[in-house]
Amino acid sequence: MAEVYLTPEGKKELDDKLAYLKNIRRTEIAELISEARAQGDLSENAEYDAAKELQAKNEYEIAEVEAMLKNAIVIENASSDANTVAVGSTVMLHNSTRNKDVEYQIVGAAEADPFKNRISNNSPVGNALIGRKVGEEVEVNTPGGIVKFRIKGIKG
């Protein structure tokens, strides 16, 4: 698995999720399996099959979260240079194509949420902004066509 960029909040969320999956969800699923076993013949027991499937999905999710945490790079400070866009930066932009101001936080793919204006460093816009400075003009080839941005400001 490749490096996973996380904010401190994102890492805490994954730590909390892992604790829930291991300590609470595993116990809940074990109880479901136990109840289904008590019903008798396992060969025709749909509840048992469903509980075993839940168990497999939970174990897969645990392994996935553990792998992400193992490869996590926590972004403490976005950049020592507040004039350069880095993972973790919040960037104020003017979208010249739509004549509209927008603000995005550049985060790792695991925390990307376009509805909260958190875009991945691997997205077309995020990737194009990394390493750029205040005042620069950036053209981005997006799925919707070429979009032009001017960097108005950067917050670490």
pLDDT at 4 over 80: yes
Indicate whether 136 belongs to any domain: yes
* Any domain includes 84: no
State mean pLDDT over 148-156: 92
| Tens digits of residue pLDDT in 21-33 | 999 999 999 999 9
Does 12 lie in the same domain as 64? Answer: yes
Say what the pLDDT of residue 40 is.
78
Average pLDDT over residues 118-147: 93
Instruction: Indicate the number of domains in the chain.
Output: 2
* Tokens encoding 5: 């960029």
Do 20 and 67 lie in a common domain?
yes
Query: Are 68 and 108 in a shared domain?
Result: no
- Measured CA to CA in angstroms, residue 43 lies from 29, 40, 52, 56, 107 at distances of 19, 9, 13, 18, 47
Q: Among candidates 89, 93, 102, 97, which has minimal Cα distance to 130? A: 89
Would you say 7 and 75 are in contact if contact means Cβ atoms under 8 Å apart?
Answer: yes
Instruction: State the pTM of this model.
Output: 0.75
Contacts of 46 (CB under 8 A, 6+ apart): none
CATH number where 141 lies: 3.10.50.30
Tell me the residue range of the domain where 16 lies: 4-74
